[in-house]
A and B are shown apart, each in its own frame.
Chain A
Amino acid sequence: MGQLPPHLELQRSRVSCNKDAPIHTESIQYSGAYASMGIDNSSRLDRFSNNFRVEVVRLNEDDMEFDMIGIDAAIANSFRRILIAELPTMAIEKVLIANNTSIIQDEVLAHRLGLVPIRVDPRLFLAIVENDQPNEKNTIVFKLHVQCKRGSPRITVKSDALKWLPNGSELVKETRNATSDSSSKPETYTYFCCSQETIPEFVKNPIIPKYPDIIIAKLGPGQEIELEAYAVKGIRKTHAKWSPVATAWYRMLPEVVLLEDIEDDLAEELKSKCPVNLFDIEDLGKGRRATVARPRACTLCRECIRGDDWEKRVALHRVKDHFIFTIESTGALPPEVLFTEAVKILEDKCERMITELS
């Protein structure tokens, strides 16, 4: 199997970012594209597994940056889309308001509560279906009871005021049946068979909102809020509150090529042009030469090719199969787990298609 001539290889594997617009942006999909040269462009699993690499650059509790090398743009994009829209999370959906004398309207308060991110692993819960009763396997119950007494200064209700109720709802349903015996447990709005505290994961990490200082409401003297909030599992396609990531994005690796030797004054000019300091000046014995020191930091502002003649000296490219992925999680799951779950979801979709097709 031969090698493609350099100009064709450039076309196939790099996006050329010219002054006006990028060219060669599509990936050459057709398997017989280079058949006349004797090159097989078809994608084969063994070649993929040999060439594919992942390098983690940064990994914190809430965000990570890693490189995926050797993957197609379509697959990278589907991972990004699944990360954003189809990973399930828990968020507050129903709010039962017993008392709200604050100036924040009921629906506004409920909306704000829904947007509070909750620190809990959504894989431990089942999704709630239409006619299901809320029980300990599909609902998390929070209680908020704040009161600002007359004479005391105004208080700010922050998200740490949300208390987790592992035994389910405490609001009692009013039954019309006057002859119900008082020995039976009063019926509440949820049907918990056992306390959620018994599940081992929650013994060590009680369920709380991820950030304790999110302002939910403000109360003046004499105002009170008493409510119960039920959190259920959902995906961001339904509503943005169920988003597991603050955002997830990728960019292709930039490549800066110096087409000719740039020396002395031109080198100084080039170095001063770049806003992110890509270029370095190398001191040779007889003069100074510019080199590309940090191509990864390039933001493609195209300052280095602005002006006359610079396009002949500097070429900007992007490598088509090297993606720099960044994932920022909202806190429910750590970012590396989020990515693994997204890949699993794509696999599930493929399986479903295969079973449908057979």
Chain B
Amino acid sequence: MKRPIFNSNKSPRVTFCGYSIPHPSEARVNIRVQTTGDPAREVLKDACQNLMLMCRNVRCTFDKAVEDFKASNAVKAMKIDSQDSSGDDSEESE
């Protein structure tokens, strides 16, 4: 979770950002964000917001790609079927 926030690093408002885990036994992460003038909290929030939007984009693209793949496979399967059954005109489109 912390490493993807470092896409915020790519924003021109950020001069430095990093994280450290003080001790592996306790679940604590120190995040440091240094900006060029804007309040750091806002910049971090914007980075999280960006990450969320990116994730949604990833999900949409992925779902569409899976649907397209399934559709093209279904078409291929039907083509093989119609080649197997001689003289059968199966023209049903899903």
Contacts and interface: CB of A to CB of B under 8 A. Distances in A.
* A and B from one complex: yes
A126 B41 CA distance: 34
A350 B52 contact: yes
B55 A343 contact: yes
B75 to A, nearest CB: 14
A343 B62 contact: yes
Nearest to A59: B69
A158 interface: no
B11 A43 contact: yes
Interface in A55-87: 55-56, 59, 66, 68, 71-72, 74-75, 77-78
Given A31-B10, A357-B41, A357-B45, A48 B61 contact: no
A59 B4 contact: no
B65 to A, nearest CB: 4
B7 A43 contact: yes
B29 to A, nearest CB: 11
B50 interface: yes
Contacts of A351: 48, 52
B76 interface: no
A49 B9 CA distance: 19
Contacts of A31: 9-12, 14
Contacts of B78: none
Nearest to B56: A347
Given A54-B61, A59-B70, A78-B3, A353 B48 contact: yes
B59 A343 contact: yes
A29 B6 contact: yes
A358 interface: yes
B9 to A, nearest CB: 4
A45 interface: yes
B55 A346 contact: yes
B39 to A, nearest CB: 11
B4 A54 contact: no
Contacts of B64: 54
Top 4 closest pairs, chain A to chain B, by CB: A56-B69, A43-B10, A54-B65, A74-B3
Interface of B: 1, 3-4, 6-7, 9-12, 14, 41, 44-45, 48-59, 61-66, 68-70, 73
Nearest to A33: B10
A202 interface: no
B56 A48 contact: no
B1 A48 contact: no
A350 B49 contact: yes
A339 B41 CA distance: 30
Contacts of B51: 75, 346, 350
Contacts of B14: 31
Nearest to A336: B66
Given A45-B50, A66-B66, A350-B55, 8 more contacts: A30-B9, A31-B9, A31-B14, A42-B10, A48-B54, A54-B58, A54-B61, A344-B55
A354 B54 contact: no
A347 B53 CA distance: 8
Contacts of A212: none
Contacts of A42: 10-12
Given A43-B7, A59-B66, A71 B1 contact: no
A340 interface: yes
A41 B14 CA distance: 13
Nearest to A352: B48
A344 B56 CA distance: 8
Contacts of A29: 6, 9-10
Nearest to A357: B45
Given A42-B11, A54-B61, A349-B1, A357 B54 contact: no
Contacts of B10: 29-31, 41-43
A45 B65 contact: no
Contacts of A72: 4, 7
Given A42-B12, A78-B4, A56 B65 contact: yes
